[in-house]
Amino acid sequence: MPGRKHKRFFTDILVDLFTPDALTNKGRGVIIDMSITGMAIETESLLDVETELLVYIRLPNHKSGHQFFAEIVRMQDFGNLHRYGLNYTRISLAEKIMLFFFIRKWVREHRLENGENENKKAKPEV
């Protein structure tokens, strides 16, 4: 998407989506790309724009997970699959950076496991 302020990189990390009070499970999805300010996810769950979610991720081979709040800012439908753009909310800059590097580390480890070059850059978004 033209005009991106921050670099994005591509992932395939599972997420669980909850209401902000963590009482209602809103579904499961996959982070398809992320940046320091937000991410795009795909899910079969039908959600409304301007909805705040509690997003929980646990990476394979990692004992602890991360959770954060994000607001849905855009949506695209692809049949039964929905793509949502999320912006982080109620998260400090330090937490954003920690989350970004946590996932970036996983992406690098994942590439090495699949025999890809460690120095390979994420392909630019078209």
**pLDDT given at position 114:** 65
1 in any annotated domain: no
Predicted model pTM: 0.75
**pLDDT given at position 3:** 64
pLDDT tens, the chain, 126 aa long: 556 666 677 788 899 999 999 999 999 999 998 887 889 999 999 999 999 999 998 776 677 778 899 999 999 999 999 999 999 998 888 887 877 787 777 777 777 666 665 454 444 343
126 in any annotated domain: no
Cα separation, 9 vs 117, whole angstroms: 15
87 in any annotated domain: yes
Q: Which domain range does residue 53 map to?
A: 9-113
User: CB–CB of 33/7 below 8 Å?
Assistant: no
**pLDDT given at position 7:** 67
* End-to-end CA, the chain: 6
**pLDDT given at position 87:** 94
47 in any annotated domain: yes
121 in any annotated domain: no
**pLDDT given at position 125:** 41
**pLDDT given at position 104:** 77
**pLDDT given at position 122:** 46
